Amino acid sequence: MESITDIKGTFTLNNGVKMPYFGLGVYLSEDGKEVINAVKWALEEGYRHIDTASVYNNEEGVGTGIKESNVPREDIFVVSKVWNSDQGYDNTLKAFDKSLNRLGLEYLDLYLAHWPVAGKYKDTWKAMEYLYEQKRIRAIGVSNFMQHHLEDLLGTAKIVPMVNQMEFHPYLVQQSLLDFCLDKNIQYEAWSPMMQGKIFGIEAFKELANKYNKTIAQIVLRWDLQKGVITIPKSSKRKRILANADIFDFELTPDDMANLDSLDRGQRFGPDPDNFDFEFLNI
C-alpha cells in the first residue's frame, strides 16, 4: 500500500491518476452559503478532494466555493455522480453536461455511476467510457457496486472502473469485496464512515480515542486510510472540517487495526445495493 503522509497525499488509480485519499463529502450540505463555505474552509485547510453528486443539489455551490478559493482548479480533485433516473447511454451524457455546467468546470476528475441500476448500468458505463476517451473526465468509477455487479460490468467493459465508493465502516467491512477490488486494481472508497453518528457510542472507539488522545472521528478516519480506503467525511461546520483532517500525526497499531476489523457484523446504515428502490433513494 502507498504511504499515508498528509492531507494532500494520494493513492494512484489504475490509470495513473493520483487521487487524494482524504476529501470533503458534501451530502446534505445545503446549496448556497452552507456548501460554499464548507468547500472554501476545506480547501483553505489543505483538502484537495471534493465529493458531490447531482442528486445532492449543491453542485452550483461547490463550483462557487472552488472558484472563490485561492486554490488553482488543477490542484483540486472534483468528483460527481450520475443519478439513477439519469442512467442509460444518452441520459448519462446529458446528465454529465448538466453537472459540469452547474459546477462551472471544464472537466471532472472523477465521475461515478451512483448506484447499479439494473438494466441500465452497462449503458451508463459505455457513456462514461466515451466521456473518458474524450478526456472530459480524468477517471471513471462506480458507487455501491457489489462483487456480482462488478463482475457483470467487467464482462463487457472496455475500461476497468478506477474507483468503487461504498458504505464502509467497522460494522460493514465487506473484506471479500475489498479484496476483490484490490485484485482488480479498483480503488475502494468509503462513504458514511461515521455510521450516521452511531460510531460515537462504540466502546472500542472510546478506548482508542483515549489511548491516542484523538477524537473517535479521527480514529475511524485513520482506520479507513490504513485499510487503503479513501475517505470523504462530510461536514459543513468549520471546526469539524479542521478536526477531521488532523489524522496525520499518529498511526494505529496492527493490533488496534485488527480489533476494529473484528467489529464487523455486516450491518448497513444506508440502503442495500441489492434491495431498494433506486428512483426514490436520495443518497
What CATH number is given to the structural domain containing 41? Answer: 3.20.20.100
pTM of the model: 0.96
Q: What does the mean pLDDT of the chain come to? A: 96
The better pLDDT of the pair 32, 24 is held by: 24
Q: Which helix (H) or strand (E) holds 88?
A: none
Within-domain flag for 10: no
Within-domain flag for 147: yes
The CA distances from residue 113 to 42, 139, 184, 270, in Å, are 25, 12, 18, 17
Bridge partners for 18 per DSSP: 12
Within-domain flag for 267: no
Within-domain flag for 35: yes
Within-domain flag for 12: no
Q: pLDDT-derived band of residue 276, with 50, 70 and 90 as boundaries?
A: confident
Closest CA to 172 of 256, 265, 260, 258: 265
pLDDT at residue 54, rounded to an integer: 96
Could you read off the pLDDT of 57-110 as tens digits, one per residue? 999 999 999 999 999 999 999 999 999 999 999 999 999 999 999 999 999 999
47, 56, 132, 212: which one is catalytic? Answer: 56
pLDDT at residue 275, rounded to an integer: 87
The number of C-alpha atoms within 13 Å of 202 and in the hemisphere containing its C-beta is: 23
Is 27 an active-site residue? no
Res 132 pLDDT > 90: yes
Could you read off the pLDDT of 193-240 as tens digits, one per residue? 999 999 999 999 999 999 999 999 999 999 999 999 999 999 999 999
Contact status, residue 73 vs residue 105, Cβ threshold 8 Å: yes
Within-domain flag for 125: yes
pLDDT at residue 76, rounded to an integer: 98
Q: Which domain holds residue 162?
A: 19-261
C-alpha 103/C-alpha 84 separation (Å) is 19
Contact status, residue 115 vs residue 144, Cβ threshold 8 Å: yes
pLDDT at residue 278, rounded to an integer: 65
Cell of 169: 465502516
Within-domain flag for 95: yes
Res 158 pLDDT > 60: yes
Work out the average pLDDT over 150-176: 97
| Total residues found in the chain within this entry | 283
Q: What residues contact 65, with CB distance under 8 A and at least 6 apart? A: 35, 36, 37, 38, 39, 40, 43, 50
Q: Give me Rg for the CA atoms of the chain.
A: 18
Q: pLDDT-derived band of residue 2, with 50, 70 and 90 as boundaries?
A: confident
Within-domain flag for 131: yes
Q: pLDDT-derived band of residue 281, with 50, 70 and 90 as boundaries?
A: low
pLDDT at residue 280, rounded to an integer: 56
Structural domain total, the chain:
1
Work out the average pLDDT over 22-26: 97
